[in-house]
Structure 1
Amino acid sequence: MALKLLHLLLVLSFIGVDAAVFTLQNNCRNTVWPGIQGGEGKAPLMNGGLRLRSGENVNISAPEGWSGRFWGRSLCSFDQSGRGTCITGDCGGQLQCSGTGGAPPATLAEFTLNSPVDYYDVSLVDGYNMPVSIIPLGVSSSCNRATCVSDLNQRCPNGLEVKRNGRVVACKSACLALNRPQYCCTGQYSNAQTCKPTSYSNAFKAACPTAYTYAFDDQTSLFTCDGADYLIRFC
């Protein structure tokens, strides 16, 4: 019995232990190309990107201690070698982002697993391009959803719009559009005492109350859970 247990422990040490399963679900009418970037020192899952047709799901296992972000890319075109471009969320013209982050504006789903619990949020700090929800699975209702289900492209504040053929396809953050310290929480505004909500972040907050809308928006936007898997739903 002891030898069998030792063998099992050795096997687990080689294959690793999965901390969570992420289910990516495309609830949009059009194809979405999810991008995935690992945190510092963490490998990107699925080599960083894939295609997800309307109505399609895919399950991705994450190792213990993984951190990183997911985002949806839209209006993409790739050749057979995986080279191409996306109008929103592009990661260097590659289908598989391979560690490259998405070009803002893009709605982000962010995770830090097993620290010692899981931390997660939906962030509009880098702007918005499509609705995204994080839904914990397999746990009690005490683990909250983090969502931005409103179509901010239809209510984007003036001056923040990204248009393609006359249609708004994404909404910039005020930091990206105006590049001022009070919107970017930099310089003298680089702490929670001096960096406060603005009219732009308040507009995002009104549309998506549980999403990060500026750098220090922790109180209503950062969630924790323990032992869950996670559904990441686009649209």
Structure 2
Amino acid sequence: MDAPRNLIPLIFLTLLTLHISVEAEASGTTMTLHNKCSHTVWPGIQPSAGRQILEKGGGFKLLPNNSYTLHLPDGWSGRVWGRHGCSFNSAGRGRCATGDCGGALFCNGIGGTPPATLAEITLGKEQDFYDVSLVDGYNLAISLTPHKGSGKCSYAGCISDLNRMCPMGLQMLSRNKKRVVACKSACSAFNSPRYCCTGSFGSPQSCKPSPYSRIFKVACPKAYSYAYDDPTSIATCTAASYLLTFCPHLL
């Protein structure tokens, strides 16, 4: 039966509204988190100061070979990392072996406890800036790849397993002391201004790569190895969406 004439404009308006809504959502920036690890990862998400906490309260469980897509508001800035070895109760309280954020499933604006590999992004009007950082150490391999953007749009990441080559002084061991679960930065391991780029070493001219950061850089040339490793570590892209992969093909 044909729709009454007075309903046709209403139906058309409803369909048009739905089309615009879907199109607007599709045109927004997204970041899809994909877990290629053989174990569960609990992503943590921390917004920069003044930016909103994203959906899922800044933390959730991501099973192996599963993905979840985050919708990033215009101008959003923040960091994403992977937690592993986590256990939480029904109230969302517990702990993670690495990357823990205050003993909670939902990070709610709290950063991860080093060592943790960080994916960092800032969305701009003209272009986005993004990187993968080992400045806070390493726990999981991460790659961050843009899609459908314009510009150079190169990938950023650390796809090597640094836990297998971590110097003894930087190693973070499992509870049973039988395996390396993360690799500390020299800054957090030794708390020295030379490694932390603080005090008299607080400038690019005075804070140079250390033997430890060079190990990180050789293994992961597309990631930040220390605080002033900007020229080879920051990537840019315009109007892209992003794929963040935990445990991409390990070398």
Structure 1 and Structure 2 fold alike (TM over 0.5)? yes
Q: Which residue of 1 aligns with 2:68?
A: 58
Moved over 3 A (4+): 15-19
Question: 1:220 is aligned with what amino acid?
Answer: T
Supply the AA of the counterpart residue of 1:95: L
Counterpart among 82, 86, 94 of residue 84 in structure 1: 94
Deviation at 1:43, TM superposition (A): 1.6
Deviates most, 108-117 or 125-134? 108-117
- Is 1:20–2:29 an aligned residue pair? yes
Between the aligned partners of 1:18 and 1:78, the Cα distance in structure 2 is 36
Q: Which amino acid aligns with 2:145?
A: I
2:218 aligned partner, one-letter code: A
Q: CA deviation at 1:141?
A: 7.7
2:119 matched to 1:109?
yes
DSSP 3-state at the match of 2:169: coil
Tell me the equivalent position of 2:203: 191
Would you say the 8 A contact 1:19–1:114 is kept in 2? no
- Structure 2 unaligned residues grouped into runs of 5+: 1-12
C-alpha contact 1:16 1:63 (8 A) present in aligned 2: no
Structure 2 residue identity aligned to 1:223? A
Higher strand proportion (structure 1 or 2):
1
Structure 1 contact 34–51 (Cα < 8 Å) conserved: yes
Separation of aligned partners in 1, 2:129 and 2:152? 14
Give the drift of 1:102: 0.3
User: Distance in 1 between the 2:239 and 2:151 partners?
Assistant: 13
Q: Normalising by the residue count of structure 2, what TM-score does the alignment of the two structures yield?
A: 0.86
Aligned residue number for residue 217 of structure 2: 205
Of all paired residues, the percent bearing the same amino acid is 54
Please tell me the root mean square deviation across aligned C-alpha atoms, in Å.
2.0
How many residue pairs match? The answer is: 226
Larger CA Rg, structure 1 vs 2: 2
Alpha-carbon distance between aligned partners in 1 of 2:163 and 2:130, rounded to the nearest angstrom: 24
Cα distance in 2 for residues equivalent to 1:133 and 1:115? 24
Per-residue Cα deviation, 1:163-183 (whole angstroms, up to 9, x for no partner): 012110000000000000010
Contact 1:35–1:97 (CA under 8 A) maintained in structure 2: yes
Superposed, 1:10-159 pairs within 5 Å as: 19-46=28-55, 47-139=57-149, 142-159=152-169
TM-score (norm 1): 0.91
The match for 1:160 among 128, 149, 170 is 170
